[in-house]
Structures are given as structure tokens and as C-alpha cells.
Structure 1
Amino acid sequence: MREEISLYQRKLKLSNNLMEIYPFIEAETEDREEKRRIRNLNNAGFHVVKSLEGYDFSQIRFPESLQLHNIESLSFLEKKENLILYGAVGTGKTHLSVALGVKAINQGKKAVFYRVHDLINQLESEDIKKANKVHKKIAQADLLILDEWGYLPLHQEGARLLFDIISLCYESKSIIITTNIEFGRWKGFLFDEKLTAAIVDRLVHHSHMLIFTGKSYRMTNSLMK
């Protein structure tokens, strides 16, 4: 290996002095990390990339177990903890979830984003390779974001597939859920009472709930007054 390194140094006209080589190694490392970051960002599945810059947290009620600095530092990811973002439509839940996913990727982690029904449709695909690819993508991620939780009801098979995903992630990675449905109504879209109890049990164990109390941003800023 030493001979090969010496050969490459001669071909590239690089010095044997490590201090002179260091800038090239540093630049190559940074280039690879940036390419990995862009690749992870493109593969995350975000419909629109969002940022925490300028985000208004004033209309969010935080639990005692989690404060704003814990959110911004992504410390919940290191602990494999979950966030449940609960509130009315248009109050910034999806924006925050995506912004946290983007920040995680910028810090060298992997995040994936799915709307719940899109995820179930992909898992139910007749193409087994497609479904396996989804499982692999989630298994390799540090953060799974499930958007629009409870917006549309699931059938029994869909609920079972969702349970499998939650079980896959349990205590191995963080999950962020955005929903406008309180726990007591989850059975209405998860179809099965036992499955609902099992899913809630796994999610609640390591979760923090953020309650969004503001008005719909889209309605407030609508052109139709």
C-alpha cells in the first residue's frame, strides 16, 4: 500500500510531506460529505424543502419533558425519541417536521418523509422489490416522518402494514407524526382496536407531544378575503 501511495503521489505530483497533502485530503472528504448530504436530501421524499429559519414557535405548547432547545439541537434523535405534532390543519406541523428532517440530513443523518397513505400504497405494491425498498429505506434512516396521520381511514391490511413500520422503528430510530386527530379517535382510521392499542403503546412510550394552537397559516394569508 505504501508503494501504491507513493506511485499516486508521483503521478499527481504530490509531496511526501503530509502537511502538504492534507488540504487535498480535506477537500476530498468535504466534497464526499456534501455529495452524500445532497443525495440523502434528494432521497428523503420531501415535497418541498423547509428550514427552521424564521419559524414561529410562539403558537406551540411544549411539554415539560421537551423544550425548544431540545428541538433545535435534535437531541431527541440521539435518544431515539418521537415527536407527535398535534393541531389543526395549516398550523405549521408539516413545515416543522420537514425542517427538522432537513436539519438532521445537514448534520450527516438520514431522514425519510412519507404521507401515511402514500406509504401504505407503496407497501401494498404488487412489486415486491418496491415494497422491500421502502422497508430498507426506513430501516437505514435515523428519522422517519409520517405526515397526515389519520387524515384518511385505513383498511385492515393497511393498518397492519403501518403497525409493522412502527414496530420496525421502535427504539431503533425517531419518528415524527403530524396529525389533527387526538388519540381517542385513532381507532376510527386504524380500523382495528387491538392494532390501535399496539401502535399507540409503541409510539407513546418514547414520545413528546407538541400542541399547535395557532390559526391556519394558509387561511390567514389567503388572497381570498
Structure 2
Amino acid sequence: MERALIRQEISMACKRLALTQQVVSMCELEATPKQEEFLHRVLSQELAHRERMRRERLLKRAAFPVRKTLDDYEWDVLRLPAALPPEEVTSCNFVRMKRNLVLYGPVGTGKTHLAIALGVAACEAGLETRFFTAASLATKLDEARRGGTLEKLFQSIDRAELVILDEWGYLPLEKEQAQLLFQLISSCYERRSLIITTNLEFSKWGTIFTDDQMAAAMIDRLAHHGHLITFDGPSYRLRNALMRVK
């Protein structure tokens, strides 16, 4: 690598590491080519190390129950809408555009796997992510409300660029819990991306919230900047179960 290019990359590394350009000036005045190459390698490795640690912190804060990737995902089980190219999903560009994804289909067809894999990909792309089941988040919100820490919890979630709500509609919610979830989703509107996995069609969301009007308002917010991804086929877990009758 040419010395001028090495020096340019050292300058860029200094900016990213919050070091002054005095480092570059000292290279120009005192360093030998070999010394500059060594410094370039040290700074590059430090940047790479910090990036790895940052991604690990993002993955830890996301609180995925397990880590899944897109590498072994079976894409034939789902249908993407025409307006949503596959690369916009896999690149997490939908998160940067603050688009929502509703993953809808029967139990066991890969919705949670895809949601987690996209969340992991978002973390690896440097995007702050949070994962919850809908029931656990409703409980957390209700407990925070009772304990006077609701605003603190909202602020924690507010830092995320992607919020994943898994198993939407699997368990009924109390009225107060439903209202808190509605408040959370309303706060996400046009400010961050949501991924929701559900086996419940939109027309039945009123049964979750015990309020058809609230459900309609929530669907409206999700759909305005969102896409519906439909899953088909038999349950993956049943197809691969040890107890399956041959």
C-alpha cells in the first residue's frame, strides 16, 4: 500500500477513535514507512475489535432467546409482497426506512426464526434492536406501570431502531396491558421499525385488545409504513419432530 494511502487511512482511523490529527503530523515528521505500516495495522485492529465488541453488546441487549441466522433459512415457506424485494429484507434496509413487517401464518412455519434472524442481522449492521414476546412485554409494561418505572422502560425501548414482538395474539391481554402495548406501538410510528409475528388475522385482533377500535388504530399504524409477509405450509417442527409417525 502506498505511503500516502496508509497515512490517509491512519487519519480516518484517528477520527473514528477520537484521536487528534497530531498522530498524522508525527508520522509525517518522524515515522519511517515500517513504523507507519505498524501504526496502521494497530489502529485497524483496534477499530475491528471495537466493532466486534459493539456488535456483541447489541446482540446482548437485544435479548434474543436463541440466535438464528438467515444462512439456513427456508425461504420457500413464505410469500413476500411485490413491493418488498428480498434484498430489502435481508439487508435490513426496511429498518433504516422505518418500515414494519407483520409475519403472518400458522404455528411452526418459521416466523420466529425469520424475525430473530433479521434482528441478528440488524445488530450485525450496527442497528439497536430489542426482542420480546408480546405477552412478556405486556407483563413488563404493566409491572413498570405499577412500580412507577414505566417512563424508564419506554426510554430504554425508545433507543431501539428495531423492535420485535413475537407470538402476537397467542395469549389474551388484560385491558391495561393492551392499552400499554398500543401506547408503545403508537410511539414507534414513523420513528422505528417493528416486526410482529402472529397466527391471528387482522380481523381478529380486536379479541386481543378487547377493543375493536384500538385494534383498528393499531393496524392502521402498522400498515401505513408496513408489509405483510404470509407463511404457508405445514409446521417445520412437526415435519422434523422426533415423535413423528413414519
TM-score (norm 1): 0.89
Give the length in aligned residue pairs: 216
Give yes or no for the alignment of 1:139 onto 2:158.
Answer: yes
Shift of 1:136: 2.1
Shift of 1:19: 3.2
The percentage of counterpart residues that share the same residue type is: 43
Q: Which residue type is aligned with residue 229 of structure 2?
A: L
Contact 2:205 2:212 in 1 (8 A): no
The equivalent residue for 2:93 is: 75
Q: 2:225 aligns with which of 196, 199, 206?
A: 206
Q: Which residue type is aligned with residue 100 of structure 2?
A: N
Structure 2 distance, partners of 1:15, 1:112, is: 46
Structure 2 distance, partners of 1:53, 1:206, is: 27
User: Equivalences for 1:164-179 in 2 at 5 Å?
Assistant: 164-179=183-198
Q: Describe the shift of the 1:127–1:32 C-alpha distance in structure 2 as closer, same or farther (beyond 3 A).
A: farther
SS at match of 2:65: coil
Contact 2:103 2:229 in 1 (8 A): yes
Runs of 4+ in 1 over 6 A off after TM superposition: none
Q: Which residue type is aligned with residue 210 of structure 1?
A: I
Structure 1 distance, partners of 2:238, 2:148, is: 41
Structure 2 distance, partners of 1:174, 1:15, is: 48
Give yes or no for the alignment of 1:87 onto 2:132.
Answer: no
Q: 1:108 aligns with which of 126, 149, 153?
A: 126
The equivalent residue for 1:155 is: 174
The equivalent residue for 2:54 is: 36
User: Equivalences for 1:30-69 in 2 at 5 Å?
Assistant: 30-69=48-87
Q: Describe the shift of the 1:19–1:187 C-alpha distance in structure 2 as closer, same or farther (beyond 3 A).
A: same
The equivalent residue for 2:14 is: none
Larger Rg: 2
Q: Deviations over 1:103-131 (max 9, x none)?
A: 010111111100011001111113333x4
SS at match of 2:75: coil
The equivalent residue for 2:147 is: 127
Shift of 1:24: 2.0
Return the structure number with greater helix share: 2
Q: Describe the shift of the 1:28–1:120 C-alpha distance in structure 2 as closer, same or farther (beyond 3 A).
A: same
The equivalent residue for 1:217 is: 236
TM-score (norm 2): 0.82
Shift of 1:91: 0.3
Shift of 1:168: 1.2
Of the structure 1 ranges 64-73 and 139-148, higher mean CA displacement relative to structure 2 is found in: 64-73
Q: Which residue type is aligned with residue 172 of structure 2?
A: P
Structural RMSD (CA): 2.1
Shift of 1:39: 1.0
Q: Describe the shift of the 1:27–1:180 C-alpha distance in structure 2 as closer, same or farther (beyond 3 A).
A: same
SS at match of 1:48: coil
Q: Give unmatched runs, 5+ long, in structure 2.
A: 1-18
Q: Describe the shift of the 1:41–1:177 C-alpha distance in structure 2 as closer, same or farther (beyond 3 A).
A: same
SS at match of 2:76: coil
Structure 2 distance, partners of 1:15, 1:24, is: 15
